[in-house]
Amino acid sequence: MEPGARPVPCRTLAEVFSRVQAGEADAGVVPVENSLAGSVGETYDLLLTHELVVTGEVVLPVSHYLMALPGVTRSAIKKVISHPQALAQCNDFLQHMGVECIPFYDTAGAARYIKETLPTDTAAIASKRAAEIYGLELLAGEIQSNRENFTRFYRIEREPRSAGAKNRSVFVVSLPHHPGSLFMALSSFACRGINLTKIESRPVKKDPWQYLFYLEFEGHVNDWPVKSALDELKSKSGMLRILGSFAVEE
Protein backbone atom coordinates (compact mmCIF):
# COMPACT_ATOMS: atom_id res chain seq x y z
CA MET A 1 0.00 0.00 0.00
CA GLU A 2 1.22 3.50 -0.82
CA PRO A 3 2.28 5.61 2.20
CA GLY A 4 -0.66 7.67 3.40
CA ALA A 5 -3.18 5.76 1.28
CA ARG A 6 -6.69 5.37 2.67
CA PRO A 7 -7.96 1.80 2.27
CA VAL A 8 -11.45 1.30 0.83
CA PRO A 9 -12.85 -2.16 1.67
CA CYS A 10 -14.75 -4.03 -1.05
CA ARG A 11 -16.89 -7.14 -0.73
CA THR A 12 -15.90 -8.65 -4.08
CA LEU A 13 -13.11 -8.54 -6.63
CA ALA A 14 -15.59 -7.16 -9.15
CA GLU A 15 -16.27 -4.22 -6.84
CA VAL A 16 -12.54 -3.46 -6.64
CA PHE A 17 -12.28 -3.28 -10.43
CA SER A 18 -15.47 -1.23 -10.75
CA ARG A 19 -14.41 1.34 -8.15
CA VAL A 20 -11.01 1.85 -9.75
CA GLN A 21 -12.44 2.10 -13.26
CA ALA A 22 -15.07 4.61 -12.09
CA GLY A 23 -12.42 6.75 -10.38
CA GLU A 24 -13.81 6.06 -6.90
CA ALA A 25 -10.41 4.63 -5.96
CA ASP A 26 -6.98 5.52 -7.31
CA ALA A 27 -5.78 1.92 -7.31
CA GLY A 28 -6.85 -1.56 -6.33
CA VAL A 29 -5.00 -4.57 -4.93
CA VAL A 30 -6.29 -7.96 -6.07
CA PRO A 31 -4.99 -11.51 -5.56
CA VAL A 32 -3.68 -13.25 -8.65
CA GLU A 33 -2.25 -16.50 -7.27
CA ASN A 34 -1.58 -18.43 -4.10
CA SER A 35 1.48 -20.66 -3.74
CA LEU A 36 -0.71 -23.58 -2.59
CA ALA A 37 -4.16 -23.03 -4.13
CA GLY A 38 -2.93 -21.75 -7.50
CA SER A 39 -4.28 -18.98 -9.69
CA VAL A 40 -7.29 -16.77 -8.97
CA GLY A 41 -9.27 -17.18 -12.17
CA GLU A 42 -11.71 -14.39 -11.40
CA THR A 43 -8.92 -11.82 -11.34
CA TYR A 44 -7.82 -12.83 -14.84
CA ASP A 45 -11.39 -12.68 -16.12
CA LEU A 46 -11.88 -9.19 -14.66
CA LEU A 47 -8.63 -7.93 -16.17
CA LEU A 48 -10.04 -8.81 -19.58
CA THR A 49 -13.39 -7.07 -19.06
CA HIS A 50 -12.07 -3.80 -17.57
CA GLU A 51 -9.91 -1.07 -19.09
CA LEU A 52 -7.34 -1.13 -16.30
CA VAL A 53 -3.63 -1.90 -16.25
CA VAL A 54 -1.42 -3.89 -13.88
CA THR A 55 1.12 -1.47 -12.41
CA GLY A 56 2.78 -3.50 -9.67
CA GLU A 57 2.79 -6.62 -7.54
CA VAL A 58 3.34 -7.64 -3.94
CA VAL A 59 3.87 -11.06 -2.38
CA LEU A 60 2.62 -11.56 1.17
CA PRO A 61 2.95 -14.52 3.53
CA VAL A 62 -0.38 -16.00 4.62
CA SER A 63 -0.90 -16.57 8.36
CA HIS A 64 -4.31 -17.69 9.56
CA TYR A 65 -5.65 -17.36 13.11
CA LEU A 66 -8.74 -18.74 14.81
CA MET A 67 -10.60 -16.06 16.77
CA ALA A 68 -13.82 -15.60 18.71
CA LEU A 69 -15.49 -13.28 21.19
CA PRO A 70 -13.58 -12.67 24.43
CA GLY A 71 -14.35 -15.41 26.95
CA VAL A 72 -15.43 -17.98 24.37
CA THR A 73 -13.38 -21.16 24.68
CA ARG A 74 -12.16 -23.31 21.82
CA SER A 75 -14.20 -26.26 23.09
CA ALA A 76 -17.40 -24.21 22.68
CA ILE A 77 -16.82 -23.63 18.94
CA LYS A 78 -19.19 -25.56 16.68
CA LYS A 79 -18.91 -23.46 13.50
CA VAL A 80 -16.07 -21.61 11.78
CA ILE A 81 -16.60 -18.92 9.14
CA SER A 82 -14.06 -17.49 6.68
CA HIS A 83 -13.27 -17.06 3.01
CA PRO A 84 -13.36 -20.42 1.15
CA GLN A 85 -9.63 -20.18 0.40
CA ALA A 86 -8.80 -19.70 4.08
CA LEU A 87 -11.02 -22.63 5.06
CA ALA A 88 -9.31 -24.82 2.47
CA GLN A 89 -5.84 -23.74 3.59
CA CYS A 90 -6.70 -24.66 7.22
CA ASN A 91 -8.44 -27.92 6.36
CA ASP A 92 -6.24 -30.18 8.52
CA PHE A 93 -6.77 -28.04 11.62
CA LEU A 94 -10.52 -27.74 11.04
CA GLN A 95 -10.99 -31.45 10.47
CA HIS A 96 -9.25 -32.14 13.76
CA MET A 97 -11.62 -29.69 15.48
CA GLY A 98 -14.64 -31.39 13.94
CA VAL A 99 -16.50 -28.13 13.26
CA GLU A 100 -18.91 -27.00 10.55
CA CYS A 101 -17.16 -24.77 8.01
CA ILE A 102 -19.21 -21.91 6.58
CA PRO A 103 -17.86 -19.89 3.60
CA PHE A 104 -17.86 -16.10 3.98
CA TYR A 105 -17.05 -13.39 1.44
CA ASP A 106 -13.89 -12.20 3.21
CA THR A 107 -11.61 -13.16 6.12
CA ALA A 108 -11.71 -9.73 7.76
CA GLY A 109 -15.45 -9.59 7.08
CA ALA A 110 -15.84 -12.86 8.98
CA ALA A 111 -14.10 -11.32 11.99
CA ARG A 112 -16.36 -8.29 11.75
CA TYR A 113 -19.42 -10.53 11.58
CA ILE A 114 -18.41 -12.20 14.85
CA LYS A 115 -18.00 -8.80 16.48
CA GLU A 116 -21.39 -7.54 15.29
CA THR A 117 -23.56 -10.65 15.82
CA LEU A 118 -21.95 -11.90 19.07
CA PRO A 119 -22.25 -15.68 18.53
CA THR A 120 -20.82 -17.82 21.32
CA ASP A 121 -20.49 -21.01 19.27
CA THR A 122 -18.83 -19.57 16.17
CA ALA A 123 -15.26 -18.55 15.41
CA ALA A 124 -13.66 -16.84 12.42
CA ILE A 125 -10.42 -17.44 10.58
CA ALA A 126 -8.65 -14.20 9.73
CA SER A 127 -5.41 -12.31 10.35
CA LYS A 128 -4.03 -11.33 13.74
CA ARG A 129 -4.61 -7.69 12.74
CA ALA A 130 -8.34 -8.40 12.16
CA ALA A 131 -8.57 -9.77 15.70
CA GLU A 132 -7.00 -6.57 17.04
CA ILE A 133 -9.33 -4.33 15.04
CA TYR A 134 -12.53 -6.10 16.08
CA GLY A 135 -11.53 -6.91 19.65
CA LEU A 136 -11.57 -10.68 19.25
CA GLU A 137 -9.60 -13.23 21.22
CA LEU A 138 -7.13 -15.53 19.49
CA LEU A 139 -7.86 -19.21 20.10
CA ALA A 140 -5.09 -20.61 17.88
CA GLY A 141 -2.43 -19.21 15.58
CA GLU A 142 -0.63 -20.23 12.39
CA ILE A 143 -3.29 -22.85 11.70
CA GLN A 144 -2.70 -23.13 7.94
CA SER A 145 -1.82 -26.66 6.82
CA ASN A 146 1.36 -25.51 5.08
CA ARG A 147 3.55 -22.77 6.53
CA GLU A 148 5.08 -22.03 3.10
CA ASN A 149 1.95 -20.21 2.05
CA PHE A 150 2.17 -16.98 0.04
CA THR A 151 -0.27 -14.93 -2.02
CA ARG A 152 0.77 -12.66 -4.86
CA PHE A 153 -1.31 -9.54 -5.56
CA TYR A 154 -1.54 -7.21 -8.55
CA ARG A 155 -1.93 -3.46 -8.20
CA ILE A 156 -4.41 -2.20 -10.81
CA GLU A 157 -4.81 1.41 -11.96
CA ARG A 158 -6.30 3.41 -14.79
CA GLU A 159 -2.94 4.55 -16.17
CA PRO A 160 0.45 2.78 -16.46
CA ARG A 161 3.50 3.72 -14.41
CA SER A 162 7.07 4.27 -15.58
CA ALA A 163 9.47 1.37 -16.02
CA GLY A 164 11.96 0.33 -13.35
CA ALA A 165 15.40 -1.26 -13.40
CA LYS A 166 13.73 -4.69 -13.46
CA ASN A 167 10.30 -5.19 -14.98
CA ARG A 168 7.62 -7.78 -15.61
CA SER A 169 4.79 -7.73 -18.14
CA VAL A 170 1.52 -9.57 -18.53
CA PHE A 171 -0.67 -10.00 -21.61
CA VAL A 172 -3.56 -12.08 -22.89
CA VAL A 173 -3.69 -13.74 -26.30
CA SER A 174 -6.08 -15.90 -28.31
CA LEU A 175 -4.56 -18.48 -30.63
CA PRO A 176 -5.88 -20.44 -33.61
CA HIS A 177 -7.12 -23.91 -32.76
CA HIS A 178 -4.59 -26.03 -34.64
CA PRO A 179 -1.54 -28.16 -33.73
CA GLY A 180 1.51 -26.22 -32.60
CA SER A 181 -0.12 -22.79 -32.22
CA LEU A 182 0.90 -22.42 -28.56
CA PHE A 183 4.39 -23.72 -29.32
CA MET A 184 4.80 -21.15 -32.09
CA ALA A 185 3.57 -18.40 -29.78
CA LEU A 186 6.04 -19.31 -27.05
CA SER A 187 8.89 -19.58 -29.54
CA SER A 188 8.51 -15.85 -30.26
CA PHE A 189 9.86 -15.26 -26.75
CA ALA A 190 12.23 -18.20 -26.43
CA CYS A 191 14.25 -17.33 -29.52
CA ARG A 192 14.82 -13.81 -28.14
CA GLY A 193 15.93 -15.01 -24.70
CA ILE A 194 12.85 -13.63 -22.94
CA ASN A 195 11.97 -15.57 -19.79
CA LEU A 196 8.29 -16.48 -19.43
CA THR A 197 7.41 -16.68 -15.74
CA LYS A 198 3.77 -17.82 -15.87
CA ILE A 199 1.15 -19.10 -18.28
CA GLU A 200 -2.53 -19.46 -17.45
CA SER A 201 -5.41 -20.62 -19.64
CA ARG A 202 -8.96 -19.37 -19.13
CA PRO A 203 -12.10 -20.44 -21.02
CA VAL A 204 -13.71 -18.08 -23.50
CA LYS A 205 -17.11 -17.37 -21.94
CA LYS A 206 -19.13 -17.26 -25.16
CA ASP A 207 -17.24 -19.96 -27.06
CA PRO A 208 -17.22 -23.37 -25.32
CA TRP A 209 -13.92 -25.29 -25.36
CA GLN A 210 -11.97 -22.30 -26.62
CA TYR A 211 -9.34 -20.69 -24.39
CA LEU A 212 -7.43 -17.50 -23.82
CA PHE A 213 -3.84 -17.60 -22.60
CA TYR A 214 -2.49 -15.18 -20.04
CA LEU A 215 1.30 -14.95 -20.01
CA GLU A 216 3.80 -13.17 -17.79
CA PHE A 217 7.38 -12.54 -18.80
CA GLU A 218 10.46 -10.69 -17.62
CA GLY A 219 10.94 -7.36 -19.36
CA HIS A 220 9.03 -4.23 -20.34
CA VAL A 221 6.87 -3.78 -23.42
CA ASN A 222 9.14 -0.90 -24.48
CA ASP A 223 12.24 -3.13 -24.53
CA TRP A 224 13.24 -3.89 -28.12
CA PRO A 225 13.33 -7.73 -27.76
CA VAL A 226 9.88 -7.65 -26.16
CA LYS A 227 8.42 -5.35 -28.82
CA SER A 228 9.83 -7.61 -31.51
CA ALA A 229 8.40 -10.74 -29.88
CA LEU A 230 4.96 -9.17 -29.45
CA ASP A 231 4.92 -7.92 -33.06
CA GLU A 232 5.66 -11.45 -34.26
CA LEU A 233 3.05 -12.93 -31.95
CA LYS A 234 0.38 -10.51 -33.20
CA SER A 235 0.75 -12.02 -36.66
CA LYS A 236 0.06 -15.51 -35.23
CA SER A 237 -2.86 -14.64 -32.92
CA GLY A 238 -6.48 -13.64 -33.18
CA MET A 239 -6.23 -11.12 -30.35
CA LEU A 240 -3.40 -9.80 -28.18
CA ARG A 241 -3.79 -7.28 -25.37
CA ILE A 242 -1.12 -5.97 -23.03
CA LEU A 243 -2.49 -5.92 -19.48
CA GLY A 244 0.47 -4.17 -17.90
CA SER A 245 4.22 -3.67 -17.58
CA PHE A 246 5.46 -2.89 -14.12
CA ALA A 247 8.61 -2.47 -12.05
CA VAL A 248 9.58 -5.39 -9.83
CA GLU A 249 11.53 -4.86 -6.63
CA GLU A 250 14.89 -6.64 -6.45
Per-residue pLDDT tens digits for 6-22: 888 888 899 999 999 99
Domain shared by 121 and 197, yes or no:
no
What is the arithmetic mean of pLDDT over 126-141?
96
Domain shared by 190 and 220, yes or no:
yes
Domain shared by 42 and 69, yes or no:
no
Q: Which of 44-48, 49-53, 116-120, 203-207 comes out lowest in average pLDDT? A: 203-207
Domain shared by 56 and 82, yes or no:
no
CATH number at residue 121: 3.40.190.10
> So what's the pLDDT on residue 37?
79
Domain housing 10: 1-60+151-160
Q: Which of 137, 160, 183 is the last residue of a domain?
A: 160
Does residue 151 carry a catalytic annotation? Answer: yes
pLDDT value at 1 more than 60: no
Domain shared by 107 and 143, yes or no:
yes
Q: How many domains does the chain have?
A: 3
Domain shared by 166 and 56, yes or no:
no
| HEC readout, the chain | CCCCCCCCCCCCHHHHHHHHHCCCCCCEEEEEEECCCEECHHHHHHHHHCCCEEEEEEEEECCCEEEECCCCCHHHCCEEEECHHHHHHCHHHHHHHCCEEEECCCHHHHHHHHHHHCCCCEEEEECHHHHHHHCCEEEEECCCCCCCCEEEEEEEECCCCCCCCCEEEEEEEECCCCCCHHHHHHHHHHCCCCCEEEEEEEECCCCCCCEEEEEEEECCCCCHHHHHHHHHHHCCCCEEEEEEEEECCC
> So what's the pLDDT on residue 70?
97
Domain shared by 56 and 155, yes or no:
yes
Domain shared by 167 and 250, yes or no:
yes
Domain shared by 128 and 9, yes or no:
no
> So what's the pLDDT on residue 197?
95
User: Which of 55, 107, 122, 151 is an active site residue?
Assistant: 151
User: Which of 17, 93, 104, 153 is an active site residue?
Assistant: 153
> So what's the pLDDT on residue 200?
94
Domain shared by 39 and 155, yes or no:
yes
CATH number at residue 192: 3.30.70.260
Q: What is the pTM of this model?
A: 0.84
> So what's the pLDDT on residue 250?
66
What rounded mean pLDDT belongs to the chain? 93
Q: Which of 148, 180, 201 is the last residue of a domain?
A: 148
Domain shared by 210 and 87, yes or no:
no
